[in-house]
Structure formats: C-alpha cells, structure tokens
C-alpha cells in the first residue's frame, strides 16, 4: 500500500514541477507585431506569484496607459488591465490570460470596450527608452537640482555641482571687554538670543 502512495506522490510532484511556469519567460516588454493594425504593448514585473505592469497602445500618449495586476500560476498569467480616466477613476477593466509558447506570448481576454481578443505577442528587446535628462539618486547632498535642463535633445551639460556647505556653523566671535566665563543663568553662544 505504501509503494503506490509513494509513486502517486512522486508523479504529482514531478508533473507539477514540469508544468510550473518560469517567471523570466514572462518578465519584460511584449508587443504585437502588426504593421497594419493597432499595436498593443505589455510590460510585466513579477515578484513571487504577483504580477504588476502596464499596458498601452500608443505608449507615447499617456492617456493610453493602463495598469496590470494579476498572478502567475501553473497555466501562465491571469490578470486584470485597469483603464483609468484623466481624473484617476477607473473607466473599465479588461480580463486576460497569457501563456508563454515557443518564445511568443499568447494573450486572450475580454474587454467591455472591444469584446474578446486574442493576440500573439513578441518579446520587445529594446527595453524602455532612455530619459533625455541625467538620472540622479536622491539624497546625496552634493547633487544639483536639475532646473530647466532636459527636453528631447537636452540643453547642454548639467550645471556644476554646488560647493558643499559645512553643516557646522562657525563659532561666534567673543565680544570685546567681557570675560570668557558666562554669568550664572545666562545663555551664550546663540545667534538668536541676546546675551546677558
């Protein structure tokens, strides 16, 4: 009786392992390769089984951006695409699934705006577009604020970093004619309070 139970356990373990999905197959950018029709782009990030990302049609137009939330499971991705209005409220949601198959992503789903859809997507090797301005990590104290720079081609080099300012204020000068020892009950050394 224990031998069949052991074989069944091993079968279930190995078949679930063989059919589990590799998150790296799904991560990154995916797009339809449709020169004569509408383009669709997904960008997926995956942490554990949680899927997040964005969806867009004309990605240079922020009004086409939508938010992706879903899960990675044994049969691929299951996710919701939330399209928002310009005021941030939800306009509508698409429900979709995606399955990695021989280097392509097969996305199927349904939208209240366009009905059922089925797209074969290819991996987008370009990655995100570089920003036209220098990217800085804040808060190093010697990083300049980028004011008026950037744009499509940038406007020359970034301004030079300002000289660091000492965090310790200079010691106050001793007033002439007074002793170095303060009187009891007086406050000295403060630039904000009068002495005496």
Q: Residue 48 — very low, low, confident or very high, per pLDDT cuts 50/70/90?
A: very high
Cα–Cα–Cα angle for 10, 11, 13, nearest 5°? 65
Q: pTM of the entire structure?
A: 0.56
How does the average pLDDT of the chain come out, rounded?
Answer: 75
pLDDT per residue over 116-161, tens digit each?
Answer: 999 999 998 776 566 666 665 655 556 555 554 444 444 455 566 6
Q: What is the DSSP string of 127-146?
A: -SPPPSS----S--TTPPP-
pLDDT at 55: 94
Specify the CATH number for the domain of residue 106. 2.40.128
Minimal CA–CA distance to 159: which of 136, 192, 180?
A: 136
CA distances from 101 to 6, 22, 91 (A): 32, 12, 32
Determine, yes or no, domain membership for 79: yes
Determine, yes or no, domain membership for 42: yes
Count of domains forming the chain: 1
Determine, yes or no, domain membership for 47: yes
Determine, yes or no, domain membership for 103: yes
Determine, yes or no, domain membership for 193: no
Question: Is residue 51 predicted with pLDDT exceeding 90?
Answer: yes
Minimal CA–CA distance to 93: which of 127, 68, 71, 61?
A: 68
Determine, yes or no, domain membership for 62: yes
Determine, yes or no, domain membership for 109: yes
Determine, yes or no, domain membership for 46: yes
Domain that holds residue 43: 22-123
């Amino acid at each position: 009786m224990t031998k069949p139970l052991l074989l069944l356990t091993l079968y279930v373990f190995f078949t679930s392992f063989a059919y589990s999905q590799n998150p790296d197959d799904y991560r990154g950018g995916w797009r339809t390769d449709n020169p004569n029709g509408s383009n669709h782009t997904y960008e997926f990030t995956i942490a554990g089984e949680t899927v997040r990302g964005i969806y867009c049609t004309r990605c240079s137009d922020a009004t086409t951006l939508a938010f992706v939330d879903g899960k990675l499971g044994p049969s691929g991705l299951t996710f919701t695409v939330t399209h928002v209005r310009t005021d941030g409220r939800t306009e509508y949601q698409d429900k979709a699934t995606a399955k990695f198959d021989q280097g392509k992503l097969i996305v199927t789903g349904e939208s209240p705006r366009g009905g059922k859809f089925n797209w074969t997507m290819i991996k987008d090797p370009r990655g995100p577009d570089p920003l036209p301005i220098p990217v800085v990590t804040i808060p190093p104290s010697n990083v300049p604020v980028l004011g008026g720079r950037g744009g499509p081609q940038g406007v020359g080099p970034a301004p030079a970093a300002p000289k660091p300012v000492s965090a310790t204020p200079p010691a106050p000068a001793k007033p002439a004619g007074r002793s170095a020892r303060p009187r009891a009950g007086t406050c000295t050394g403060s630039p904000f309070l009068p002495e005496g």
